[in-house]
A and B are shown apart, each in its own frame.
Chain A
Amino acid sequence: MLENISLNTIFSIVLIFCAPIIGGFLMGIDRKLTARMQSRMGPPIIQPFYDVIKLWGKEPFISSTLQPILAFCYFGFSLTSFALLALGQDLLLIIFTLGIADSCLIIASLNSKSPYSVLGGKRELLSIMSYEPVLLLTAISIYYVTGSFMVARIFYLSYPLISYLPLVFIALIPVLVIDLKKSPYDVSASGHAHQELVRGVFTEFSGYSLALIELGHWTKVVMMLSLVSLFWATNLIIGICLALVLFFIVLVIDNVYPRLDWKSMLKTTWSIGIILIIANIVGLIARVVMHI
């Protein structure tokens, strides 16, 4: 038993440090697939790594002395929240830690005196405002199934989570879209700067602080996708496939939608997302009550 746990822990720790790397590959796949959907050839899969290494070696420009520290914190806390997830900790805590990471990014972008960065930061704030409730409600709905907020408990289920929470799963799609900064909700920034806000939140980052931000973003993506893979935790292989399918869906969505504004983002998540989750929870409770 004890050996088992320590083995798991070691595995988790290895996983934690691999998270940014996995994220990098995911972003590479993202760019390749996106290119293919646009009938282009696309960059090599390891392109994101080239980007980050290059950024690391650029001449350091900063917008204020706080900026690199906050960029580092963004990366660090994204990693922390993933670590908490990998170690099977409390879901709420994980979401709140993710909140710290986002706050770091936002503060770093808001306190540079650049109009684009500030507007981007504001919209990033609104993105948080739109997806955090959905995430929290997801955690709560998971609680209704497992009776605990601990991630570790999900693995004790005999049926995959998705069989209880199909609607919650759907509600996570817009969250993922927002998090990956994809159309239609790439309101605060997008990968390529074809945006009214230039690079939005990222406008004032450059060189190594941008590299840190990229790393943080990758980690965050991995963390969100792992959250999704928990929906089939009885067999993690399927879970990971599930996450990848969702990832693919998000990419397709990115390619079939124009960018909408933040109001419709807020509307979607606060109405459709939340209604889906609530409906699911109500159904869940109804099921329990019926059985009794």
Chain B
Amino acid sequence: MKLIDVGDVIGMSENVNTNKKYSVLPFGPQHPVLPEPIHLKFIVDEEKIIDVLPNLGYVHRGIERGCELNDYKRNIWLTERICGICNYIHGATYCAAIEKITDTEVPVRAKYLRTIWGELGRLQSHLLWLGLFADAIGFESLFMQIWRDREIVLTLNEKTNGHRIHLATNMIGGARKDIDDSLENEYKKDLNLLRKKMDALKPVFYKDSAIKQKCEGKGILSKNKARFLGATGPTIRGSGLKEDARLTGYEAYGQLDFKPVVYEGEDSYSRMLVRFDEVLQSIDLIEKAFDQMPEGPILNKNDKFPMGHTVIRTEQPRGEVFYYVEGNGTNKLTRCKIRTPTASNIPALINMLIGYEVSDIPTIVHSIDPCISCTERIVYVRRNE
């Protein structure tokens, strides 16, 4: 296989005509459309985007190094705070990694619980995103509507473990909290309510012509490019590729008859639809998980220090997260490498942006669901210059 230089795909410098005066536009780190700090330097011809150069590192905190300095159990809380949005899955993935090295068997009920909370996190995240996306395309009332409905999920979080955002139910070897019957009923009731509300909004996303005008054909990411640039999650599924780490059947997904949502449109619109459908799918998955969840213990304590190394992949709302954990038999890890979905989606984003208008920036940037807080490493983009 021939290796292709990333610069060939990303660097669009051949578009740049040196005789012309272009505008140079700093976009971020502080920008109302993107609540998170990322800097994109846009080279703009009138309003057409000629070139984009990203600058990351505004959220770089050194978490990976922090993980090596911390006690390995405390890392659960640190990895949860890689990101507040997918906090649960980060913690769960870390726990799974440790469990794998220390050969800890996780009780089945705990697996189901993890699946439920994982999907709840996805639900929360996708609703959040749908709202932000609506806001980015200038649809304030839709944003408000969705965020209003999202409170249902947050209240569920709160009922589960007393906090709206950070669920903090991860434990190595299982779960820290159980869902009892009354809570289960509340889950079912609230999720039903949520489904109704989403059904009411369905035509807005599926049929509204203005939204279509705003998103259709914007930020095209072809199948090939999506694969080559390493896009993950709904970004790649919106390009018609059936890529989903949940297909590996980790936790309880193997028992849930899970099929990923795939749209063929390759544009921002299909990426949006993927997420909207996943909201509904998550509700279904949670309900199914409740139906199948066995009774039993939820925690299998194993205080062995991690020894050896492993990798683990799980599916976050934004795509696949990848943990490499290495321990040497002490209470401190020697390496904890995390590759997060947004980091892998950034090259795709840069590629998508070029050729569109300034007014499409919010649509396209948001269409990968950029979550900069986990993209917290410095990325060097090599250019053909």
Contact = CB atoms under 8 A, between A and B. Distances in A.
Complex contact flag A–B (Cβ < 8 Å): yes
Interface stretch (B24-32, B116-124, B167-175, B297-305): B24-32
B141 A255 contact: yes
Nearest to B32: A193
Interface in A171-226: 183-184, 186-187, 190, 192-198
B141 A194 contact: no
Interface in B139-169: 139-142, 144-145, 148
Given A115-B26, A194-B135, A196-B359, A256 B141 contact: yes
B24 A196 contact: no
Contacts of B372: none
B141 A37 contact: yes
A262 interface: yes
Nearest to B359: A261
B47 interface: yes
Nearest to B362: A196
B313 interface: no
A197 B352 CA distance: 20
A38 B139 contact: no
A24 B139 CA distance: 24
B33 A195 contact: yes
B32 A198 contact: yes
A194 B357 contact: no
A258 B137 contact: yes
A256 B357 CA distance: 23
Interface stretch (B56-64, B67-75, B98-106, B208-216): B208-216
B145 A258 contact: no
Interface string B127-142: 0000000111111111
Interface string A103-134: 00000000000011011000000000000000
Contacts of A37: 141
A38 B145 contact: yes
B362 A258 contact: no
B36 to A, nearest CB: 14
B295 to A, nearest CB: 41
Query: What range describes how many residues of B lie at the interface?
Result: 20 to 34
B361 interface: yes
Interface in B207-261: 210-211, 213-214
A195 B32 CA distance: 7
B140 A38 contact: yes
A183 B359 contact: no
B358 interface: yes
A39 interface: yes
Contacts of B211: 258
A291 interface: no
B145 A194 contact: no
A263 to B, nearest CB: 8
Nearest to B209: A257
A197 B136 CA distance: 11
A187 B137 CA distance: 11
Contacts of B144: 38-40
A257 B214 CA distance: 10
Contacts of A262: 359
Contact of A38 (B31, B141, B358): B141
Nearest to A186: B138
B138 A190 contact: yes
A260 B145 contact: no
A150 to B, nearest CB: 39
Given A258-B138, A258-B142, 4 more contacts: A194-B32, A194-B33, A195-B138, A258-B139
Shortest beta-carbon contacts, A-B, top 10:
A259-B138, A38-B144, A258-B139, A255-B141, A261-B359, A258-B137, A193-B32, A115-B25, A258-B138, A38-B141
16 contacts: A39-B144, A115-B23, A183-B140, A190-B138, A192-B140, A194-B32, A194-B33, A194-B136, A195-B32, A195-B362, A254-B140, A257-B210, A258-B142, A260-B210, A260-B214, A264-B213
